[in-house]
Amino acid sequence: MTLHRTLLAAALTALLATTAAAQTMKAADVHPAGYPTVVAVDAMGKKLEAATQGRIKFQMFPGSVLGGEKEMIEQTQVGAIQILRTSLGPVGPVVPEVNVFNMPFVFRNVAHMRAVIDGPIGQELLDKISASPARLVGLAWMDGGSRSLYTKKPVRKPEDLKGQKIRMMGNPLFVDTMNAMGGNGIAMGFGEVFTAIQTGVVDGAENNPPSFFSTNHHKAGARFYTQTNHLIIPEILVMSKVAWDKLSPADQALVKKTAREAQMEQRALWDTAVGESTAKLKADGVEFIEMDNKAFFDATAPVRAKYGAQFTELMARIAAVK
């Protein structure tokens, strides 16, 4: 009897140990299969599966099948999604400290943004996310390039945006940015923008070339792409704190290492995607309007003053990064 009990207890403990160690990680992205972020995170999943002999199983859910970005962030916070690739934009409302990267013209160009995210400031922000009450663990950065404005009517200066409704990501900072740029910012989920442009609910939106092209927003009627480069927002790979806490320290280190490799892999894929999507947009008849964006930079100074007041020191450090 006692022996039976002991054996049973041992068997139970062993069973519990394996259940605790085995994990299926659901990874999510608004972008479709083949998009640089999805390809890089998929590769990360394969590495995790191989390195753990299948103890960690990885399943990718691309194309917003698990919801819009705001909903996916919420699902990650509660542990229904384990790994999420998201723009940093909609993370701002849950971790306000990240808004320093979400400000208009905070980075001089994409190279500057990369130097910042690859360095100590980038790591500090990942750590701030992990330490915040948001129940997210910051794993790595990804590249979201530079966002510019696309509209049905040509825009060359802030005055041309008067009365135009422009879709922005869900964060009051972006609505303020568009209002300062001369238009009317409307917060809306990524998946609703095509119909909104087509039906005239909005007159345009803003994004980087790969997203502009992959969503076909030019086919919904946005034919003019004004090179404002007003937002250079890094994207981020986060893990649910719920899932993170279930990993052994060794697995946590493995997740961090493969995430960091995914960051660099995505960057190479990204540069190719920017070139290809730019060429395809042009071939489809989209007019790229090159102009001096200083008027938009100047117009957004009050937004940097308002949101940047809490980040003065950090912004000076960002500006000092070569």
By CB under 6 A, name the binding residues for ligand BDP: 30, 69, 86-87, 144, 169, 190, 207-208, 211, 235
Strand, helix or coil for residue 141:
strand
Cα separations in angstroms, 291 against 148, 156, 288, 297? 12, 7, 10, 12
- Do residues 307 and 103 make contact, with C-beta atoms less than 8 angstroms apart? yes
Sign, CA dihedral 266-36-149-185, equals negative
Q: Using alpha carbons, select from 42, 44, 24 the residue that is nearest to residue 33.
A: 42
Nearest approach in angstroms of CB 90 to ligand BDP is 7
Q: Which is nearer to ligand BDP, 102 or 211 (CB)?
A: 211
Nearest approach in angstroms of CB 190 to ligand BDP is 3
Can you tell me the distance from the alpha carbon of 287 to that of 276, in angstroms, rounded to the nearest whole number? 16
Q: Which is nearer to ligand BDP, 30 or 173 (CB)?
A: 30
Q: Which is nearer to ligand BDP, 213 or 251 (CB)?
A: 213
Cα separations in angstroms, 280 against 214, 274, 285? 10, 10, 9
Q: Which is nearer to ligand BDP, 129 or 247 (CB)?
A: 129
For tokens 């740029």, what's the residue?
181
Nearest approach in angstroms of CB 263 to ligand BDP is 14
286 DSSP assignment: P
Nearest approach in angstroms of CB 50 to ligand BDP is 27
Q: Using alpha carbons, select from 232, 230, 229, 227 the residue that is nearest to residue 155.
A: 227
Q: Which is nearer to ligand BDP, 143 or 251 (CB)?
A: 143
φ, ψ for residue 56, nearest 5 deg: -100, 125
Amino acid at the residue 75: Q
Nearest approach in angstroms of CB 69 to ligand BDP is 5
Amino acid at the residue 113: M
Q: Which is nearer to ligand BDP, 82 or 208 (CB)?
A: 208
Nearest approach in angstroms of CB 72 to ligand BDP is 9
Nearest approach in angstroms of CB 68 to ligand BDP is 8
Can you tell me the distance from the alpha carbon of 290 to that of 276, in angstroms, rounded to the nearest whole number? 18
Q: Which is nearer to ligand BDP, 174 or 251 (CB)?
A: 174
